[in-house]
């Protein structure tokens, strides 16, 4: 690590347990962020600032005016530009040491299988139930840690699955039925700081997993009710009948 890097990351290097080793692990890490809406915006922003080595941003959408209220990486000039490209440009201005790759297509199981291998961690920031199940299946299969977030209306939830380390509960155990009724922000609404809070927590879990520092909550679903301002932890148990991990 050079002098500038030691200076840039000095506040996190100062932390007991994190140290230079933790920073070096972040700088060697490869992360895929799937979905560059509100969750992916915030999570990728913090990961880039913290000095993640490589990030691949996946999104097939373009920036719209109605995104700007919560997708804070984007600027008015980015309207109609592909989200992943606009995010890459902002991240380059924030930290040009982070290698950023973009995928401007909607991934299905075949294309994701091709791309997902070789990553240390995946952030699921999508708003589509079917792709969530596919991401879970492939992360479990290739033993890639998965940090999953969701936010709608005044509520958000976050959960991490440590597939690289142990036989663990998976996303499918939580939602065994394929649910076609995708809830999304364009139909149901969202209050911006709720999605921001969940994205920040996703980045925190990712940083802890990748740097091997701190305790990562798993086998628990953390749910935030932004309207009442309360967090709830829901204990989860592995489903022995689960088609993915059972
Ligand atoms: Zn499972």
Calculate ∠ Cα 158-164-166, nearest 5°: 90
How close is the Cα of 172 to the center of ligand 1, in Å? 5
Domains of the chain are 3-235 (3.40.50.720)
How close is the Cα of 73 to the center of ligand 1, in Å? 34
- What mean pLDDT comes out for the span 221-246? 94
- What mean pLDDT comes out for the span 174-186? 71
pLDDT band for 137, please (50, 70, 90 cuts): very high
Q: Which tokens hold the place of 153? A: 């209306």
pLDDT band for 141, please (50, 70, 90 cuts): very high
**If you average pLDDT over every residue of the chain, what do you get?**
94
Share of the chain above pLDDT 90, in %: 85
How close is the Cα of 204 to the center of ligand 1, in Å? 24
How close is the Cα of 175 to the center of ligand 1, in Å? 9
- Judge whether residue 178 has pLDDT over 80: no
- Judge whether residue 246 has pLDDT over 90: no
pLDDT band for 218, please (50, 70, 90 cuts): confident
- Judge whether residue 176 has pLDDT over 90: no
The lowest-confidence range among 11-15, 52-56, 181-185, 235-239 is 181-185
Share of the chain above pLDDT 70, in %: 98
How close is the Cα of 163 to the center of ligand 1, in Å? 11
- Judge whether residue 179 has pLDDT over 70: no
Query: What confidence score (pLDDT) does residue 197 get?
Result: 97
Query: What confidence score (pLDDT) does residue 181 get?
Result: 60
C-alpha separations of 50 from 91, 181, 230 in Å: 11, 36, 28
Query: What confidence score (pLDDT) does residue 183 get?
Result: 66
How close is the Cα of 174 to the center of ligand 1, in Å? 7
Distance from C-alpha of 142 to C-alpha of 161, rounded to nearest angstrom: 13
**Ramachandran class of 125: left when φ > 0, alpha when ψ lies in -120 to 50, beta otherwise:** alpha
Torsion, CA 152, CA 224, CA 158, CA 47, rounded to 10: 90
- Is this structure's pTM higher than 0.85? yes
- Judge whether residue 177 has pLDDT over 90: no
Q: What is the pLDDT of residues 121-132, one digit of tens each?
A: 999 999 888 999
pLDDT band for 187, please (50, 70, 90 cuts): confident
C-alpha separations of 35 from 18, 62, 152, 218 in Å: 29, 12, 15, 22
How close is the Cα of 168 to the center of ligand 1, in Å? 8
Selection from 35, 64, 206, 46 nearest residue 124 by Cα? 35
Label residues 188-214 b or e (16+ Cβ within 10 Å = b): eebbbebbbbbbbbbbbbbbbbbbebe
pLDDT band for 166, please (50, 70, 90 cuts): confident
């Amino acid at each position: 690590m050079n002098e500038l890097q030691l200076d840039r990351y000095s506040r996190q290097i100062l932390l007991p347990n994190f140290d230079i080793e933790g920073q070096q692990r972040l700088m060697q890490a490869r992360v895929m962020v799937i979905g560059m809406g509100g969750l992916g915006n915030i999570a990728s922003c913090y990961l880039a600032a913290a000095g993640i080595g490589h990030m691949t941003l996946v999104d097939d959408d373009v920036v719209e005016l109605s995104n700007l209220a919560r997708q804070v990486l984007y600027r008015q000039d980015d309207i109609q530009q592909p989200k992943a490209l606009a995010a890459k440009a902002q991240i380059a201005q924030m930290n040009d040491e982070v290698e950023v790759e973009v995928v401007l297509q909607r991934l299905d199981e075949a294309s994701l299988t091709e791309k997902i291998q070789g990553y240390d961690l995946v952030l699921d920031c999508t708003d589509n139930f079917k792709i969530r199940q596919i991401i879970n299946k492939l992360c479990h299969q290739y033993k890639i840690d998965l940090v999953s977030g969701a936010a709608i209306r005044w509520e958000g939830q976050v959960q991490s699955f440590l597939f690289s380390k142990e036989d663990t509960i998976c996303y499918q155990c939580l939602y065994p039925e394929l649910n076609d009724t995708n809830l999304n922000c364009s139909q149901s609404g969202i209050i911006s700081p709720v999605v921001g809070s969940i994205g920040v927590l996703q980045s925190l879990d990712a940083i802890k997993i990748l740097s091997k520092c701190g305790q990562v909550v798993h086998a628990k679903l953390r749910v935030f009710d932004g309207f009442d301002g309360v967090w709830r932890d829901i204990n989860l148990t592995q489903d022995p009948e689960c088609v993915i991990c059972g």
